[in-house]
Amino acid sequence: MGHISQFIDYLKERNLSPNTIKVYNDNLIEFWKFLGKRKLSIRAVKREQVRSFLFSLSEKNNQPITRRAKLTTIRSFFRYLEDEGLIEKNPTKNLPLPKVEIKEPMFLQKSEIKKLLQIVKKDKRAEVAIRILVETGIRLSELTGISIGDIDTARKTIKIKRKGNIEQIVPINSGISKLIKSFVKNKNADMPLIANRMGKRMTQRRVAIMVHDYLKKAKIDRDGISVHSFRHSFCVRMLENKVNLKTIQLLCGHKSISTTERYLHIANPELRQSIKMAEVL
């Protein structure tokens, strides 16, 4: 457990988000318990034990994407131990990640978004939350982290915290700015923008439930539609309006341009073909 604690402290120093750190910690605790049943220490782990752990996950019906995430955690952990000189040989080196089928991003049609926004108008808190998600493309975690002091309605901007605790100023349109200005009137700067009845910051789970309830009221119940679908919808709309990829990447906080490119064929097949034609190698 000592090595795991050291690794978690290392992740905290890198300013990873609390959610990411929790996932890494939970994955390693699960792996440590697996080793404990076999009376093995972290330093004694061989490649075979890692493979056995992955096999045990598949027996428990863990999906490939789950097994991939857990192996990614374990690989990062042993790479850290190797770099720190705590182990001589990394048992996960060159161990392939489980193949995962990449699913098509699910997004809402313009007509669905209009229908949803019409229904949500009676609930200002939900309207503010949903309009920000729909019209800025920010993540749910970024929305719930916004305080009133992070908003500048005069300049039409919101300060958010991206993954890795990185701050970014994102623009908002006049419509959202006006809506927020009315919503936050007479509220203190340190108060959360999206709060519960007690005035405390709403959790991601509670906001997701609220959004899901309004999706049901709007009769938007297609499989795969979730809060994150608003982000996908934003990317698709930007591409349909011929906004360049680098701008969309910056607005959405994508670390890699390839993440943004996956929306190309959805928005316009011709755009995808244009990218292919521009390839040199």
Sequence spans of domains, the chain: 2-83, 110-277
Closest CA to 50 of 60, 62, 65, 38: 38
Quickly state the pLDDT bin for 43 (edges 50, 70, 90): confident
Over residues 159-196, the pLDDT tens digits come to 999 887 889 999 999 999 999 999 999 999 999 999 99
Share above pLDDT 70 across residues of the chain, in percent, rounded to a whole number? 91
193 and 176 in contact (C-beta within 8 Å)?
A: no
Quickly state the pLDDT bin for 278 (edges 50, 70, 90): very low
CATH 1.10.443.10 assigned to domain 110-277? The reply is: yes
Structure pTM?
A: 0.65
Residue 203: the pLDDT is 94
Q: What is the mean pLDDT of the chain?
A: 87
2-83 and 110-277: identical CATH topology: no
Mean pLDDT of all residues in 186-207: 94
Continuous H helices in the chain: 2-13, 18-37, 47-59, 64-83, 110-119, 124-136, 140-144, 174-183, 204-217, 228-240, 245-252, 257-261, 264-267, 269-277
Residue 274 has pLDDT above 50, yes or no: no
φ and ψ at 90, to 5 degrees?
-85, 110
Residue 20: the pLDDT is 86
φ and ψ at 115, to 5 degrees?
-65, -45
In sequence order, the 6+-apart residues with CB closer than 8 A to the CB of 271 are: 239, 264, 265
Q: At the topology level of CATH, where does 2-83 sit?
A: DNA polymerase; domain 1 (1.10.150)
Residues 266, 267, 270, 271: is their CA dihedral positive or negative?
A: negative
